[in-house]
Amino acid sequence: MENSLVKLKQKSKLAIDSCDYFLLSNHEVTDATTNPSLILKVLIQSRYRQYVQEIKASNLTLPREQLIRLIIVNFGKEILKRIPGRVSTEVSPQVAYSVKKTVEEAYGIRETYLSLGENLERVLIKIPATYEGIKAASELEKNGVRCNMTLIFSEVQSLACADAGAAVISPFVGRVGDWYKKCGRSWDLVEEDPGVRFVRKLKFTLANYDNTEIMGASFRNIDQIIALAGLDLLTISPELLDGLKGVNKSLDLAWLDGSHTPVKNKTSNTLDRKNFDEVLAGDVMATDKLVEGIKLFQNDSQEFERMILSDDLGKACAAKT
């Protein structure tokens, strides 16, 4: 009997939300997503600390910024050995509000992958969907650099990313629900989950954007994942991938029946600064979660750099745990 994971793979491409590349043999996924936050999680394992220390030892004269990038890209390289699809590698969240620096970071990541002999067609540049991040993605996509826009919480972000030609957008299902729960909202059915409802609506809002895939992200439970079966992509933690193997739930695909009305024409003003800011400001949840998400990414990025650059990585990891 097919479990829910097998059924899901028949309807959506799956990505793993982890830098634990030794786990990939246990999960038949297509793509993967990475960031410093995820690398931090695996550094509790000695084999990953040793891997990082070997990279550091081989690049003692490399400038700090380039060393950090090299370590992150090497994780991506190891992941690419074990999946057939693409890996998303994130620009530093410290540049989330700078178009110029985001573009420079993106090319730096690509150059590092290229120096390691990787096929750039298998690399997505992950960029926070601030106004500046979206403008940077527009410039990058015009030059053939495929982007995965992260921290998506609103329709205006999604439309602006699609208008910019982004290859992938990643709406954060769980974090949307988290915000409403914090405000006192509750729901009994997964179909009523604000995060699920938001992403389901996006499927039809972006129906005419053939070149932009939607990748559901930030899942809190199995029901949220199953409720979005049929989405282009789903990026899932190893724990929830394992959980899907242990259940046998039917996939309700009725939400894909086309009863929603897609946006008929591309909106030409989503990349206008004034319009973008006004519409985003009108969505308190999206504004709160975007700012919070960038701050969390920045904090993890800074902690990652401190640990990586410490004289004793093992001791630094022990102190963190």
Helix axes 131-142, 99-115, angle to 10 degrees: 50
Span 31-43, pLDDT tens digits = 998 889 999 999 9
List the catalytic residue out of 126, 135, 203, 289: 126
Q: Is the dihedral of CA 241, 245, 246, 252 positive or negative?
A: positive
Q: What is the dihedral of CA 3, 9, 11, 17, to 10 degrees?
A: 110
Phi, psi angles (nearest 5°) of residue 21: -70, -20
Per-residue pLDDT tens over the stretch 248-279:
999 989 999 865 555 554 555 677 899 999 99
Low-confidence ranges of the chain (pLDDT < 50): 265
pTM over the 0.85 mark: yes
- Our answer to whether residue 126 is catalytic in this structure is yes
